[in-house]
Amino acid sequence: MPANSASSSLSGLQKGLLVVTALVLAVVLFLLRNGLSAESPMDQLARRSLAPEVALSNQKPTMLEFYADWCEACREMAPAMLETERRTNGQMDVVLVNIDNPQWQDLIDRYEVNGIPQLNLFAADGSLRGRSLGVRTPQQLEALSTALIANTPLPQFAGIGSVSRLEDGDGIATATPTSAGPRSHG
């Protein structure tokens, strides 16, 4: 029986060590993923963004992105947006506006944000040149930023267009129809 008792306590010790090791690994992985890791590209951009009113009045073209933290498409595009901001090296402002922050409700209404990510593209004088809805590739973002900086026509990608009012069949401008908000997904 002493052999079984020694074997049993060794097995219990091994199980205990495995449990402790698993807990330590779980804590280390959690810290590496959440606590000790660098900020995400979207968080970096949001933290460094100028206030929209400053960006739109400082005589630089501006790429203003309406986004949300929970938006997977926004997170997917964030590394390319961060690279665009770095590549333009101060020649253009990249500004992020979180649609879940009530502080920006006036901008969301003014620019009729009805989906995200939405890019509003502004000339250096602050005038709206175009709008883009949906994820953009790094190459598309480069082409857009190059056109904004050079003040040349925007590239013609699907989902990008100039901003205009709707007209009825007689060519008379009508009020913009009410649409679902960016958070509705409906």
Q: Is the pLDDT of residue 177 over 50?
A: no
Q: What is the mean pLDDT of residues 46-56?
A: 93
Most confident of 40-49, 131-140, 174-183: 131-140
> pLDDT at position 2, please?
55
The CATH number of the structural domain formed by 41-161 is 3.40.30.10
Predicted TM-score (pTM) of this structure: 0.67
Task: Please name the residues in contact with 12: beta carbons below 8 A apart, sequence gap of 6 or more.
Answer: none
Are 76 and 138 in contact, with CB atoms under 8 Å apart? no
Residue appearing with tokens 């209404």: 109
Tokens of residue 178, six digits = 């009410």
pLDDT in tens, 103-134: 999 999 999 999 999 999 999 999 999 999 99
pLDDT in tens, 128-172: 999 999 999 999 999 999 999 999 999 988 777 654 443 444 443
Q: Could you give the CA distance from residue 86 to residue 21 in angstroms, rounded to a whole number?
A: 42
Mean pLDDT estimate for the chain: 81
Burial of 67 (0-12, 13-18, 19+ CB in 10 A): buried
Angle at which helices 72-88 and 41-48 cross, to 10°: 60
Tokens of residue 89, six digits = 């090296």
> pLDDT at position 168, please?
41
